[in-house]
Amino acid sequence: MRRFLSLPGGFTLPLPSRKHDSPPASVLPLPPRLVLGLQQCLPCVQPGQQVLKYQRLADADSEYGVALHAPTSGRIIAIQPQAQALPGAPLADTLILEADGRDEALPLQAGDPSRLTPLSLALQLQDMGVAGNHGPLLALDWAMQQCALPLLIINAVEDEPYLAATATLLEEQAEAFVAAIAMLEQVLRPARIVLAVSQTDSSEALQAAVSQHGWQVSTINTPYPAGDETTLIRQLASPAEAAHSLCLPADAVVAAGAAILHGQPCISRLVTLVDKLDRPGSVQALLGTPLSHLLNFAGAKANYAITHGGGLRGYALPADQADAMGLHWHSQCLQARTPDTAGQQQDCIRCGDCLRICPSKLQPQELYWHCQQDNVETANAWGLQDCTLCGLCDAVCPSQLPLLDSFRHTALQYQSTQQQQQQADHARQRHRFRQFRLERDKQEKAQRLAARAAEQAAKREQTATAAPQENKPTPAAADKQAAIAAAMARAAQRNSQHLEKQSTSSADDRQADARAAAMAASRQAAIDAAMARAAARKAAQDAAKAASAGSQQVDTTAASDDKQALIQSAMQRAAMQKAAQANAAPANMDADKKALIEAAMQRAAAQKTAQANAAPTSMDADKKALIEAAMQRAAAQKAAQADKAHAPGKPEKPENT
């Protein structure tokens, strides 16, 4: 007879007496079909496919998922959404396996734990489908950190009423349990290992095996929620160890031992079945066994209700869907209870019992109020996240309010909204980056186009005025160092140089040729300006669009190079033009001037349209030079500026070239 454990507030938790010779766990007959929920895993088989026992059916879809293996041989009938044996019976993808009864198995390969690192062990456990309380038994991110493990707690405490599976496991599979802990010790190398057990009598059997390994057995005598991970760590770990110690449930440890030492994936577990007479009995059941099959085995007749879990944390499941819901790894206990109509919830009388008994020192009556109002924010402010869902407040409530149900519901709801919010944020970020990328590509393309147009114009002009009148080499080497945008400036510079040269040469003797060349040059300049204008307008449009999109980079160094080149060329041109003017005949001057003015007018128009969009430019250096030369350059310069400077023409980029 176990002693009654007194709870805070003076309540006592009646725990079923456990005999020393409890009946051994029976093995469930093979069900005709298995219903395997795909929680956080992706199926790797097709409907209609024939599978063997131990064959992998689904892979983990993230680092928090675990793989799923076929519990028996058979055929996959369907993969469809069905109700799960989880709180609220949510719909999720379910794999339905029709057993063929032959139970043909894949050969198992025994592993060698001596070569495993913590990370490879964690990965192997995930592939073998060994789940802990949250996700895989060993969290992958923990295993990746490779920090030293000061304390490993094996949690065999089972203090919730009606749960008996772990105790049966310890009694019947003590050798496997010890071997599994030894394997974990070999791989994880913890500084010390503590076995937390809840009863002294069964731990005596383990004592002998445990003492030779140097492990510590600790009997937990604190009241009910002592089997929680956090409570155990708080109780057993010293403050220095608490942050890094690990607490693993005993049933999962045994499964991990089987998976690593014998290569056997996790396909079954011990379930406590509580019949109508409150007699708990343990049964080894395959994962995915329909709940109706289990309850029929336990002797439940028609018109039963299903409670999934122990006496305090258990939750009700719809009995009419018992065929569709399959056993999962966290199904420790199933109770077949007839519907209890006596329990009618009434209004809170503020007796304060829930407040007295709450192990987390919360105020369940306030929490309940806010949870009923779906006021998640306020419920969190009252500590909903600190609630361990132990169910004690529900058990002591005289008004029989569904406190635990509403807390669980609201917590799950909060969790799912958080996940959705996270996904939405992620998608929004992705979308923003895509928009930015598209704009950036467009701008780069526009720049490239403008540069190419300017280069083509320059080339065409070179071929038109192929006369080898160049006295000095073009400053190609210096220009190439500048960025793409500087090409346009180069083109304009080259353009004006040719023009000056033409006029100077015409001053000597070949005036007619020179005039024709000047005319051609001015026409070429007009064409050049028109093309540059078009490119500038296009770039300005792109830039205006991009301005709304946002962040982008400006090649300021290229721009300053560009400016310097422009100033240099303007100075050269000014000097040359002065020389030309000194020598030129007035008639030729007139003709030349006319052509130049014509071209200049056209360019000025282009400049005006560009300036309407462009930011104020710093043309001081150019203005000090001759105005004509500046106007010649202006079109090309505009194009370049509109490409580079105007695109980010926003407050965050106050400095333009």
Partner 1 sequence: MTSTTMRLAPSLARRQGLTLLALLPGVLVLLMQQGRPALINLLLALYSSLLTDMTCQASRKQPLATSWRQPDCLLTGLMLALMLPMATPAGLLLAACMMAVLWRHLFGGTAHGPFHPVLVSLLMLSPWLASPLPAQNIALSLALLAGGVWLLWRRLNAWQVPAGFCLVLLVSLPLGTGWLLLQPALWLLLGWVMTDGNSTPITPRGRLIHGQAAGLLCVSFAALTHKADITPLLAAILLLMSAAAPLVDQLLQPRQRT
Q: Which residue carries 């041989």 as its tokens?
A: 73
Angle between helices 403-464 and 486-508 (to 10 degrees): 10
Q: In the bound complex, what is the minimum distance in angstroms from residue 312's beta carbon to partner 1? A: 6
Under the binding rule (CB under 8 A), the answer on residue 314 touching partner 1 is: yes
Stretch that binds partner 1, among 109-117, 337-345, 495-503, 545-553 (CB under 8 A): 337-345
Task: Give 628's Cβ-side CA count (13 Å radius).
Answer: 20
Name which position in 91, 349, 424, 512 contacts partner 1 (CB under 8 A): 349
Q: In the bound complex, what is the minimum distance in angstroms from residue 54's beta carbon to partner 1? A: 36
Q: Which residue carries 């050969």 as its tokens?
A: 107
Name which position in 318, 423, 557, 590 contacts partner 1 (CB under 8 A): 318
Stretch that binds partner 1, among 97-105, 287-295, 332-340, 554-562 (CB under 8 A): 332-340
Q: Residue 424 corresponds to which tokens in the numbers above?
A: 């939405």
Under the binding rule (CB under 8 A), the answer on residue 332 touching partner 1 is: no
Stretch that binds partner 1, among 95-103, 167-175, 239-247, 358-366 (CB under 8 A): 358-366
Q: In the bound complex, what is the minimum distance in angstroms from residue 39's beta carbon to partner 1? A: 21
Name which position in 345, 418, 435, 560 contacts partner 1 (CB under 8 A): 345
Q: What is the distance between the alpha carbons of residues 344 and 144, in angstroms, rounded to a whole number? A: 50
Q: In the bound complex, what is the minimum distance in angstroms from residue 412's beta carbon to partner 1? A: 14
Q: Which is nearer to partner 1, 354 or 458 (CB)?
A: 354
Stretch that binds partner 1, among 5-13, 148-156, 188-196, 430-438 (CB under 8 A): 5-13
Q: What is the distance between the alpha carbons of residues 110 and 165, in angstroms, rounded to a whole number? A: 26
What x-and-dash track marks residues 483-502 binding partner 1 by CB under 8 A?
Answer: --------------------
Name which position in 55, 360, 564, 613 contacts partner 1 (CB under 8 A): 360
Q: What is the distance between the alpha carbons of residues 317 and 305, in angstroms, rounded to a whole number? A: 7
Neighbouring residues of 637: CB distance < 8 A, sequence distance ≥ 6: 488, 489, 492, 566, 617, 619
Q: What is the distance between the alpha carbons of residues 120 and 123, in angstroms, rounded to a whole number? A: 5
**Number of residues near partner 1 (by CB under 8 A):** 51
Bridge partners of 58? 43, 68
Q: What is the distance between the alpha carbons of residues 558 and 17, in angstroms, rounded to a whole number? A: 86
Name which position in 86, 137, 362, 565 contacts partner 1 (CB under 8 A): 362
Q: Residue 326 corresponds to which tokens in the numbers above?
A: 């399959």
Residue 79 contacts residue 93 (beta carbons within 8 Å): yes
Q: What is the distance between the alpha carbons of residues 270 and 273, in angstroms, rounded to a whole number? A: 10
Q: Which is nearer to partner 1, 304 or 329 (CB)?
A: 304
Residue 502 contacts residue 599 (beta carbons within 8 Å): no
The bridge status of strand 216-219 relative to strand 91-99 is: unpaired
Backbone angles phi and psi of 606, in degrees to 5: -60, -40
Under the binding rule (CB under 8 A), the answer on residue 226 touching partner 1 is: no
Q: In the bound complex, what is the minimum distance in angstroms from residue 419's beta carbon to partner 1? A: 24
Under the binding rule (CB under 8 A), the answer on residue 330 touching partner 1 is: no
Which spans of this chain sit near partner 1 (rule: CB under 8 A)?
7, 9-14, 161, 305, 307, 311-316, 318, 335, 337, 340, 343, 345-353, 355-356, 360-363, 365, 383, 386, 391-392, 394-400, 402, 404-405
